[in-house]
Each structure stands twice: as C-alpha cells, then as structure tokens.
C-alpha cells in the first residue's frame, strides 16, 4: 500500500521508511511543491493538519504529515512548535547552540520530543501522537541523526539519539511511537 508523506526531508523519509517497511512511503516532489509547505499554526497539531491538507488538496491521495517539537521544561516548553526555526532559520547547529545557551546552568534539563501525525485516509482526517521523554545533554554528543539528536538523551539511556543506530533510535523515538499508532490504525483498514 502506498502512502504519501508531506515532506521533502530525506532524513525524515528514510527514518519513516525504516519504521514502516511494509508500506511504500513516498515524499512529495519538488515539481508539485517547489517551496516549503506552509506551517503557520500555533501548535504541532495545527501545523501537521495544515501540511497534510495542502498535499491532499493537490494530490487527492492518502497522505500524512507530521510536525515535531522539542519541549524543554525549564524553558516553558520552548522551542516547541518553533523547533526548526528556533535560532531564526532552519539551521540545526544554530538551534542547538541557542538552546544550550538559553538552558545555561539550569539544573532541570528535562525535555520531551513530541510528534503529531495528521493522516488523510480516504477523505477522513485522523491524528496520532508520540512522545519520548528525556533530558538535554550539557554538550553535543554523536554525529548521526538530525535536528536536536546530538543533545537529546532519551529516558533510561546514557547516550544521545545521535550516538544511536537508526534501529536503536527507532525503538525509542517520538516519531516511531506516533507511526506505530498510525500503523495500528492502517492495519485495520486493509
């Protein structure tokens, strides 16, 4: 079964394909969507729905979109919905540097990654959420992954997402947990 994901992010698409091997996951083409999809919502849910609706309106295909935010307790949930543009532009290194600076010497380094998936399945909309609790490291650790992976240590672990293999990360991640719920829903639709 084919599903279109409202993304042109190769890292995200590869991660989702690894979690979801039984589905043919396709990203959106730059021909059909030459720029970035609009994300003007104030919540992860609103952004995921907005992206999914843009893709469905142009393709009329079963599709889903996700939005993910890193929510840091000591920073009142920042960067949250603004995670990708926390430092003003889509630059992972600058975003991590600003977060570590803003967190400074806070002793409370509790955080969570939260992913919301919006699915349009046969014209009906559904939402799925996945959460991974953890802490923010004092410094970047590891070279794999993307986004905030080098500074996020999942609960019960002693290494960052960026120090884990894709299989290790996918066993714990927020996106994997949301996709598992999506998969449970879709497996009942066949």
Active centre residues (catalytic): 67
The whole-angstrom separation of Cα 91 and Cα 180 is 28
- Three-point CA angle 20, 173, 100, nearest 5°: 140
Degrees (nearest 5) of the Cα angle 16, 120, 182?
Answer: 40
Report the C-alpha gap between 117 and 178 in whole angstroms. Answer: 7
Q: What are phi and psi of 157, to 5 degrees?
A: -115, 165
Segments of 60-105 assigned E as strands: 63-72, 79-80
The 10 Å Cβ neighbour count of residue 161 is 28
- The sign of the torsion formed by the CA atoms of 172, 97, 99, 127 equals negative
DSSP for residue 190: -
């Amino acid at each position: 079964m084919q599903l279109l994901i409202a993304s042109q992010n190769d890292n995200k698409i590869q991660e989702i394909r690894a979690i979801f091997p039984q589905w043919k996951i396709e990203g959106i083409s730059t021909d059909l969507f030459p720029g970035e999809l609009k994300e003007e919502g104030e919540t992860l849910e609103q952004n995921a729905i907005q992206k999914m609706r843009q893709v469905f309106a142009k393709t009329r295909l079963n599709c889903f979109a996700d939005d993910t935010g890193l929510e840091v307790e000591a920073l009142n949930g920042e960067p949250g919905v603004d995670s990708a543009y926390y430092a003003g532009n889509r630059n992972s290194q600058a975003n991590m540097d600003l977060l570590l600076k803003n967190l400074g010497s806070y002793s409370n380094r509790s955080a969570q990654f939260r992913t919301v998936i919006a699915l349009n399945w046969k014209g009906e909309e559904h939402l799925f959420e996945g959460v991974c609790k953890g802490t923010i490291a004092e410094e970047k650790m590891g070279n794999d992954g993307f986004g905030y992976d080098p500074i996020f240590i999942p609960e019960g672990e002693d290494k960052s997402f960026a120090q884990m293999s894709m299989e290790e990360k996918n066993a714990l991640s927020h996106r994997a947990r949301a996709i598992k719920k999506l998969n449970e829903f879709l497996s009942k639709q066949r």
